[in-house]
Structure 1
Amino acid sequence: MNNTPTNAALAPTRTADQVSVGEALPPHPIPITRTLIVATAIASRDYQDVHHDPELARERGSKDIFMNILTSNGLVEKYVVEWAGPAAVVKKIKIRLGAPNYPGDTMTMTGTVSAVEGRLVTVDVTGTNSLGPHASGQVVVELPAGQEGN
């Protein structure tokens, strides 16, 4: 049976003239499951044992397996693109990792528009879990020109 919704619609892409500095993106909680950590590490070809073997992760000083940076980067990108819309083009992502994402926690993504220069929009993003900021940085997206012709 196909579980794909037939009436699913993508949110419209924002245009540069619809965005202003200081605009807050809606918070987005992401449950950090063991499956998410392991599956995304494997999907990104990161076979380091700290991303799939709890015992070996503990031997290396961690309390459990933890999310890899490629997954964190992808979740940051996904958060901003879902806000911006399907025609947005990611031009740059720069993040720094902090507290690890362990299974059983939730990372809540938040963001604020920090610059609008023509069609380029910079969003300051933070993904925070119960231990503190996990990923923080900036994403620059190019949006379509609006009615003002940005």
Structure 2
Amino acid sequence: MTGTSPRAGDELPPLRIPITRTLIVAGAIATRDYQDVHHDVELAKEKGSPDIFMNILTTNGLVGRYITEWAGPTARLRQVRIRLGAPNYPGDEMTLTGTVTAVRGGTAEVAVTGRNRLGAHVTGTVTVEFPGAPPPDPRPSIGRDRG
């Protein structure tokens, strides 16, 4: 982010992530996901997949990275809601994009999509808080005393 407050409609710069075998296997190990489809090509093929594929926890981490790189080091992820679609296989490139859909006080909601050659790998919404921003006024704006 450029140091200005986010506004609804702001588009985040895209982030391109090469999907390598190392990324897939390391992500699975780091998240303690030992399912064979994330590290063993032959067993993944036996189960109907053309290759190993990325797990949802790695995808979740990459979405978090994308948002925090945009929002800055003091930002806090408050909620990440994602859904997987097309798998990320070795040799793919996933491009993450995002759009700010709402801003409320010191938080912003960002719609995120990660696409690869097969289509949307991940779609979702992330709520990010910007510490130090004024909290939202809980009073309704209609009839507020303007003193």
| TM-score normalised over the length of structure 1 | 0.86
Equivalent-residue separation in structure 2 for 1:97 and 1:106 (angstroms): 16
The secondary structure found in structure 2 opposite 1:29 is: strand
- Per the alignment, residue 10 of structure 2 pairs with 23
Question: Which residue of structure 1 lines up, in the alignment, with residue 79 of structure 2?
Answer: 92
Larger-gyration structure (1/2)? 2
2:141 counterpart of 1:141: no
1:59-98 matches, within 5 Å, as: 59-98=46-85
In structure 1, what is the equivalent of residue 19 of structure 2? 32
Q: Gaps spanning 5+ residues in structure 2: where? A: 136-147
- Give the distance between the partners of 1:145 and 1:50, measured in 2 at CA: 43
In the alignment, residue 76 of structure 1 is paired with which amino acid? V
Matches within 5 A, 1:43-62: 43-62=30-49
What's the offset of the Cα at 1:111? 0.2
SS in 2 for 1:133: strand
Q: Report the equivalent of 1:7.
A: none
- Residue 69 of structure 1 aligns with an amino acid whose one-letter code is I
Matches within 5 A, 1:94-109: 94-109=81-96
- 1:64-112 deviations in whole A, cap 9, x for unaligned? 0000000000000110010000000110000000000000010000000
Runs of 4+ in 1 over 2 A off after TM superposition: none
State the Cα distance separating 1:37 from its structure 2 match: 0.2
Note the aligned Cα RMSD (angstroms).
1.4
Alpha-carbon distance in 2 for matches of 1:69, 1:75? 10
- In the TM superposition, residue 144 of structure 1 has moved relative to its aligned partner by 2.8
Q: Identity percentage over the alignment?
A: 63
Give the aligned partner of residue 108 of structure 2. 121
Instruction: Find the aligned partners of 2:68 and 2:30 in 1 and give their Cα distance.
Output: 20
SS of alignment partner, residue 36 of structure 1: helix
Uncovered stretches (5+) of structure 1, i.e. residues with no partner:
1-10
The yes-or-no answer on 1:112 pairing with 2:88 is no
- Cα distance between partner residues in 2 of 1:136 and 1:80: 13
1:145 to partner: Cα distance? 3.7
Q: How many residues align?
A: 135
